[in-house]
């Protein structure tokens, strides 16, 4: 029952985040994904969640938005050289000031974008909007703060944000879903 509840929360949030990304022109109504990228979440999630949970009280938007940046970085690595990137640990994605400047490190050093450029500003804007929606939906659940269920809801929201970030990067790199007709042999 609890698993069904968490799955339902995450699926609803994912659809809502996809809606925001589509409205902003960052996606085209479909979540681009790869099982490699999705599965990689499980190797970086423990470190990410340990850092993010300490930020929730003072920086709730950051605690969620940085998961989307993590998704960007992982998707970029998947495209560049997955054999190498798949061996990276969570620490690789942290900036010089650890969690605090993870966003700038991923945008500037991994994606190679100007951190004060238009693309970086667009990413920051969409991730802020998505994080705020995530916070609103978490609060709507009226789960007891600092409870095990609150942690699980937060972790699911972080994973949804990670997947949105990865999808946006895949689209930015030129990936898209196309219908392919099958001819009879």
pLDDT of residue 182: 65
pLDDT of residue 61: 96
Kind and range of the H or E element at 171? helix 148-172
Instruction: Show me where the domains of the chain are located.
Output: 2-172
pLDDT of residue 5: 94
Phi and psi for 95 in degrees, rounded to 5? -80, 180
- Average pLDDT per block of 10 residues along the chain, 185 residues long: 92 98 96 97 98 95 98 98 96 94 97 97 98 96 92 98 98 84 62
pLDDT of residue 23: 97
Beta bridge partners of 95: 98
Beta bridge partners of 61: none
Phi and psi for 76 in degrees, rounded to 5? -60, -45
How many helices (H) and strands (E) the chain has is answered by: 6, 0
Question: First and final CA of the chain: distance in angstroms?
Answer: 46
- pTM summary value: 0.94
């Amino acid at each position: 029952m609890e698993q069904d509840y968490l799955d339902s929360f995450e699926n609803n949030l994912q659809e809502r985040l996809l809606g925001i990304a589509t409205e902003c022109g960052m996606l085209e109504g479909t979540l681009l994904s790869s099982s490699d990228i999705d599965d990689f979440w499980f190797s970086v999630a423990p470190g990410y969640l340990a850092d993010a949970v300490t930020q929730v009280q003072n920086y709730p938007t950051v605690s969620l938005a940085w998961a989307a940046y993590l998704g960007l970085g992982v998707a970029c690595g998947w495209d560049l050289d997955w054999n190498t990137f798949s061996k990276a640990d969570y620490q690789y994605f942290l900036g010089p000031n650890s969690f605090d400047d993870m966003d700038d490190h991923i945008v500037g050093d991994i994606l190679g974008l100007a951190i004060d450029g238009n693309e970086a500003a667009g990413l920051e804007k969409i991730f802020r909007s998505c994080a705020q929606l995530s916070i609103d939906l978490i609060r709507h659940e009226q789960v007891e703060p600092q409870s095990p269920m609150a942690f699980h809801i937060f972790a699911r929201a972080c994973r949804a944000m990670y997947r949105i970030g990865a999808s946006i990067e895949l689209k930015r790199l030129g990936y898209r879903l196309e219908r392919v007709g099958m001819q009879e042999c």
